[in-house]
Structure 1
Amino acid sequence: MARGPAKNAPPIDRQRVLDVLASEPGATKRDIAKLLGIKGSDRIILKRILKELEGEGVLTGSRRRGYNRPGMIPEVAVLEITGQDPDGELLARPMKWEGEETPPRILILTEDAIGLGERVLARLKSVDDGFEAKVIKRLGASVHKVLGVLKISGSHIRIQPIDRKSKSEFNVDKRDLNGAEDNDLVIAEPLSGRTSGFPRARVVETIGSMDAPKAVSLIAIHAHGIPTDFPKEVIAEAEAALPVDPRGRTDLRAIPLLTIDPEDARDHDDAVWAAPDEDPSNKGGYVTLVAIADVAHYVTPGSDLDREAYKRGNSVYFPDRVVPMLPEKLSADLCSLKEGVDRPCMAVRMVFDANGRKRHHEFLRGTMRSAARLTYAQAQRAFDGHPDADMSATVKKALADVWGAYLVLLKEREHRDPLELDLPERRIKIGEDGKIASIAFKERLESMKLIEEFMVLANVAAAETLEKVRTPLIYRVHEPPSKEKLFGFSDYLRTIGMTFAKGQVMKPGVFNRILGNAKEGPHELVMNDVVLRTQSQAIYDNVNLGHFGLNLAKYAHFTSPIRRYADLIVHRALIRGLKLGDGALSDKEAMRLHEIAEHISMTERRAMAAERDSTDRYVAAFMEDRVGATFSARVTGVTRFGLFVRLADTGAEGLLPVRALGTEFFQHDERRHALIGDRSGTAYSLGDILTVRLAEAAPLTGGLRFDLAEANEAPRVKRRGAPIRPRSKRRR
Structure 2
Amino acid sequence: MAGRQPRNADRPELSREAVLRFIADNPGRSSKRDIAKAFAVKGDDRVALKDLLADLQAEGVIAGSRKRFSTPGALPPVGVFEIRGRDDDGQLLVEPTTWDEAEDGERPRLPVVQNRKSQVAGIGERILARVVEADDGNRTAEVIRVLEKKRTLQLGVFRTMPGGGGRVEPVERKQLEYAIRPGDTKDARDGDLVEVEAGPRSRIGLPVGRIVDVVGTLNSERAISAIALHAHGIPHVFPKAVLDEAERAGPATMAYREDWRDLPLVTIDPADAKDHDDAVHAADDSDPSNPGGMIVTVAIADVTWYVRPGTKLDAEARMRGNSVYFPDRVVPMLPERISNDLCSLREGVDRPALAVRLVIDGRGDKRSHSFHRVMMKSHAKLAYEQAQAAIDGAPGDVPPAIVDEVLKPLWKAYRLVGQSRERRQPLDLDLPEKKIKLGADGRVEKVVVPQRLDAHRLIEEFMILANVAAAETLESRRQALIYRAHDSPSLSKLDSLRDFLRTLDIKLAKDGMLRPSHFNGILRQVKAGEHENLVNEVVLRSQSQAVYTPENIGHFGLNLMRYAHFTSPIRRYADLIVHRALVTALSLGDGGLSREDEENLEQTAEEISRAERRAMAAERDTVDRLIAHHLAERIGETFEGRIAGVTKAGLFVQLPTYGADGFVPIGTLGVEYFHYDEVGHALVGERSGHGYRLGDSVEVRLKEALPLAGSMQFEMLTEPRKLPMATGSFHKSARKRRDGRRDKNVASKVRKKR
Contact 1:683 1:718 in 2 (8 A): no
User: CA–CA distance in 2 between the matches of 1:713 and 1:536?
Assistant: 34
Asked if 1:684 corresponds to 2:685, the answer is no
The code of the aligned residue for 1:102 comes to E
CA 1:336–1:253: 2 relative to 1, 3 Å: same
Contact 2:390 2:398 in 1 (8 A): no
User: CA–CA distance in 2 between the matches of 1:659 and 1:30?
Assistant: 57
CA 1:328–1:389: 2 relative to 1, 3 Å: closer
Contact 2:156 2:195 in 1 (8 A): yes
User: CA–CA distance in 1 between the matches of 2:46 and 2:261?
Assistant: 80
Question: Where does 1:77-92 land on structure 2 (aligned, <5 Å)?
Answer: 77-92=79-94
Asked if 1:149 corresponds to 2:157, the answer is yes
Determine the structure 1 residue equivalent to 2:167.
158
Determine the structure 2 residue equivalent to 1:646.
654
Asked if 1:567 corresponds to 2:571, the answer is no
CA 1:209–1:388: 2 relative to 1, 3 Å: same
Quote how far apart the aligned CAs of 1:165 are. 2.2
Quote how far apart the aligned CAs of 1:154 are. 4.3
Quote how far apart the aligned CAs of 1:44 are. 8.7
Residue-by-residue CA offset, 1:382-407 (whole Å, 9 max, x unaligned): 23232524434134420100110011
Asked if 1:423 corresponds to 2:423, the answer is no
User: CA–CA distance in 2 between the matches of 1:315 and 1:93?
Assistant: 28
Determine the structure 1 residue equivalent to 2:449.
441
Quote how far apart the aligned CAs of 1:70 are. 3.3
Contact 2:343 2:570 in 1 (8 A): yes
The code of the aligned residue for 1:106 comes to L
Determine the structure 2 residue equivalent to 1:413.
421
User: CA–CA distance in 1 between the matches of 2:535 and 2:54?
Assistant: 68
Q: Which moved more, 1:645-654 or 1:458-467?
A: 645-654
Residue-by-residue CA offset, 1:37-77 (whole Å, 9 max, x unaligned): x8xx67999988876665553656689x7653233111111
Determine the structure 2 residue equivalent to 1:124.
131
- Aligned partner (choices 95, 117, 142) of residue 93 of structure 1: 95
Question: Where does 1:342-491 land on structure 2 (aligned, <5 Å)?
Answer: 342-386=350-394, 388-491=396-499
- Aligned partner (choices 96, 106, 113) of residue 110 of structure 2: 106
Asked if 1:308 corresponds to 2:316, the answer is yes
CA 1:109–1:437: 2 relative to 1, 3 Å: farther
Q: Which moved more, 1:149-158 or 1:694-703?
A: 149-158
CA 1:714–1:397: 2 relative to 1, 3 Å: same
> What SS is found at the alignment partner of 1:291?
strand
> What SS is found at the alignment partner of 1:527?
helix
Quote how far apart the aligned CAs of 1:265 are. 1.7
Quote how far apart the aligned CAs of 1:252 are. 0.9
Determine the structure 2 residue equivalent to 1:4.
none
> What SS is found at the alignment partner of 2:473?
helix
Q: RMSD of aligned C-alpha atoms?
A: 2.8
Question: Where does 1:482-521 land on structure 2 (aligned, <5 Å)?
Answer: 482-521=490-529
CA 1:48–1:517: 2 relative to 1, 3 Å: farther
CA 1:254–1:51: 2 relative to 1, 3 Å: farther
CA 1:392–1:339: 2 relative to 1, 3 Å: farther
CA 1:479–1:718: 2 relative to 1, 3 Å: closer
User: CA–CA distance in 1 between the matches of 2:395 and 2:598?
Assistant: 47
5+ residue gaps, structure 1, are: 1-7
CA 1:598–1:87: 2 relative to 1, 3 Å: same
Quote how far apart the aligned CAs of 1:223 are. 0.6
Quote how far apart the aligned CAs of 1:239 are. 0.5
The code of the aligned residue for 1:146 comes to Q
Q: How many pairs are equivalent?
A: 716
CA 1:18–1:48: 2 relative to 1, 3 Å: farther
Determine the structure 1 residue equivalent to 2:752.
none
Quote how far apart the aligned CAs of 1:80 are. 2.2
> What SS is found at the alignment partner of 1:467?
helix
Determine the structure 1 residue equivalent to 2:748.
none
The code of the aligned residue for 1:72 comes to A
Residue-by-residue CA offset, 1:615-659 (whole Å, 9 max, x unaligned): 111111122223222122111211111111122322222212112
The code of the aligned residue for 1:455 comes to M
Residue-by-residue CA offset, 1:413-443 (whole Å, 9 max, x unaligned): 1111111111111111122211122111121
Contact 2:89 2:242 in 1 (8 A): no
Contact 2:347 2:379 in 1 (8 A): yes
Asked if 1:550 corresponds to 2:522, the answer is no
Determine the structure 2 residue equivalent to 1:585.
593
> What SS is found at the alignment partner of 2:29?
coil
Q: Which moved more, 1:251-260 or 1:143-152?
A: 143-152
Structure 2 length-normalised TM: 0.89
Quote how far apart the aligned CAs of 1:719 are. 6.1
Determine the structure 2 residue equivalent to 1:330.
338
> What SS is found at the alignment partner of 2:467?
helix
Contact 1:273 1:288 in 2 (8 A): yes
The code of the aligned residue for 1:637 comes to G
User: CA–CA distance in 2 between the matches of 1:74 and 1:266?
Assistant: 49
- Aligned partner (choices 5, 23, 26) of residue 25 of structure 2: 23
Contact 1:150 1:181 in 2 (8 A): yes
Asked if 1:219 corresponds to 2:227, the answer is yes
Determine the structure 2 residue equivalent to 1:596.
604
Contact 1:259 1:268 in 2 (8 A): yes
CA 1:392–1:68: 2 relative to 1, 3 Å: farther
Q: Which moved more, 1:396-405 or 1:619-628?
A: 619-628
Residue-by-residue CA offset, 1:581-602 (whole Å, 9 max, x unaligned): 0001111211111111111111
The code of the aligned residue for 1:79 comes to F
User: CA–CA distance in 2 between the matches of 1:337 and 1:71?
Assistant: 54
Contact 2:124 2:149 in 1 (8 A): yes
User: CA–CA distance in 2 between the matches of 1:31 and 1:278?
Assistant: 88
The code of the aligned residue for 2:86 comes to Q
Q: Which moved more, 1:541-550 or 1:644-653?
A: 644-653
Residue-by-residue CA offset, 1:462-501 (whole Å, 9 max, x unaligned): 1111111111111111111111111111111112221123
Asked if 1:235 corresponds to 2:243, the answer is yes
The code of the aligned residue for 2:187 comes to G
The code of the aligned residue for 2:627 comes to V
User: CA–CA distance in 1 between the matches of 2:370 and 2:49?
Assistant: 72
Q: Which moved more, 1:180-189 or 1:8-17?
A: 8-17
Quote how far apart the aligned CAs of 1:196 are. 6.7
User: CA–CA distance in 2 between the matches of 1:714 and 1:466?
Assistant: 56
The code of the aligned residue for 1:123 comes to R
User: CA–CA distance in 2 between the matches of 1:24 and 1:229?
Assistant: 40
Q: Which moved more, 1:341-350 or 1:522-531?
A: 522-531
User: CA–CA distance in 2 between the matches of 1:714 and 1:458?
Assistant: 50
CA 1:465–1:684: 2 relative to 1, 3 Å: same
CA 1:43–1:430: 2 relative to 1, 3 Å: farther
Q: Which moved more, 1:514-523 or 1:716-725?
A: 716-725
> What SS is found at the alignment partner of 1:345?
strand
Quote how far apart the aligned CAs of 1:130 are. 4.8
Structure 1 length-normalised TM: 0.92
User: CA–CA distance in 2 between the matches of 1:154 and 1:478?
Assistant: 56
Q: Which moved more, 1:145-154 or 1:342-351?
A: 145-154
CA 1:305–1:115: 2 relative to 1, 3 Å: closer
Contact 1:508 1:548 in 2 (8 A): yes
Q: Which moved more, 1:50-59 or 1:458-467?
A: 50-59
Question: Where does 1:39-54 land on structure 2 (aligned, <5 Å)?
Answer: none
Asked if 1:198 corresponds to 2:206, the answer is yes
CA 1:436–1:607: 2 relative to 1, 3 Å: same
Quote how far apart the aligned CAs of 1:256 are. 0.9
Quote how far apart the aligned CAs of 1:272 are. 0.6
Quote how far apart the aligned CAs of 1:459 are. 0.7
> What SS is found at the alignment partner of 1:603?
helix
